[in-house]
Chains A and B, each alone.
Chain A
């Protein structure tokens, strides 16, 4: 399980089952694994954020009126605008979803769904922010993960577009919450899921 700074991640499914087996859960509260449960896919899911930004070499003496193309992939834990060159504040970012198959068998016919929720409020006062309705970000085509392998899916989020749409009302998207489910195609019960918050910090 990967937990990044500034984020919360929750994982269920095979990971929890494995943890329970290792730690010896209370027998009264634990169902005896059935043959089906024992054979359940051992999947994990990890959500991170990434964007293209300037390299350190490009930043030196960067001409802000004629900036070079951003072509260095950087990981993000949050968005901020404290130094518009030195600290990534991209217009568009990728939500990087990695699904791990920790089992000894391949798992096929998997589908990933991702949705985003924005916490929107006055630019000057995050405490007044409220959650808006979830928006679908991604629904993958069915795929297979070989044993002890991983599969990566990327969904793009246009932060600038969201900020621009809120600006006329002096509003700001203070937080983006990404929820990911990994399902067997045709099923509604997730085999693994994750929820991660991405803070978007306005500036003074």
Chain B
């Protein structure tokens, strides 16, 4: 882990690479913030929240070589060890149980909890809509390596899922297409949201409750899990 070249956080130098490094470490500690290299209110709040675990006076700043930085790096090492001990597992490659894969096998690894959640949701979906399969795309590589061209999909807790079609065909679909089934997709979203492990769902159909709209999500749901 490279050291910081300048401070990050409130009134910090906030070099892009430094902010990105801190954001990644904060996320490794479970912050759940955007990794965009920009130090906005979300990043500062996350620094303060992290400092609050062990400091009475969180200042929202990470200094090079400082206590917050050292703790973040140590924490990352612990997380890495934990991840190694709890390696990602492969989404079972089946075309039954209510789902099929549309990404190569090496891109379909996740944490045990993530895989369990996906399989569970798909089984419930299959009971509600027999013969209709959920399409699961990119998740993570087995070792959490960078998955180009994704910015995320490294934690084993992300999964791309196609919206559901009206005709049951194993084809892509966009929420504006005539073959798009809002009813079935809403049911899928509801099943996901009912899972304690599901943190957020990005999708652009404004008629579906509880999804977050985000550019580039007309033809897939990006599901993020907590663990």
Contact = CB atoms under 8 A, between A and B. Distances in A.
Physical interaction between A and B: yes
A125 B38 CA distance: 9
A61 B102 CA distance: 8
Interface string B137-156: 11000000010111110000
A69 interface: no
Contacts of B138: 84
Dominant secondary structure at the A interface: loop
A147 interface: no
Interface in B173-227: 173, 202, 214, 216-220, 222
Interface in A96-152: 122-125, 128
Nearest to A170: B146
A65 B172 contact: no
A133 to B, nearest CB: 22
Contacts of A202: 149-151
Contact of B20 (A56, A81, A122): A122
B36 A125 contact: yes
A7 interface: no
B35 interface: yes
A163 B151 CA distance: 13
Given A83-B137, A85-B102, A128 B37 contact: yes
Given A86-B172, A163-B149, A203-B149, A124 B216 contact: no
Interface in A146-178: 163-164, 167, 170, 172
Contacts of B170: 60-62
Which size bracket describes the interface of A in this complex?
Answer: 20 to 34
Contact of B169 (A60, A122, A124): A60
B172 A125 contact: no
A87 interface: yes
A64 B35 CA distance: 29
B171 A86 contact: yes
A170 to B, nearest CB: 7
A74 interface: no
Contacts of A163: 148-149
Interface of A: 56, 59-62, 64-65, 80-87, 89, 122-125, 128, 163-164, 167, 170, 172, 201-204
Given A122-B16, A204-B202, 7 more contacts: A60-B171, A64-B102, A64-B103, A64-B104, A80-B216, A203-B149, A204-B152
**Can you list the 5 inter-chain pairs with the closest CB atoms, starting with the nearest?**
A86-B172, A61-B170, A83-B172, A202-B149, A64-B104
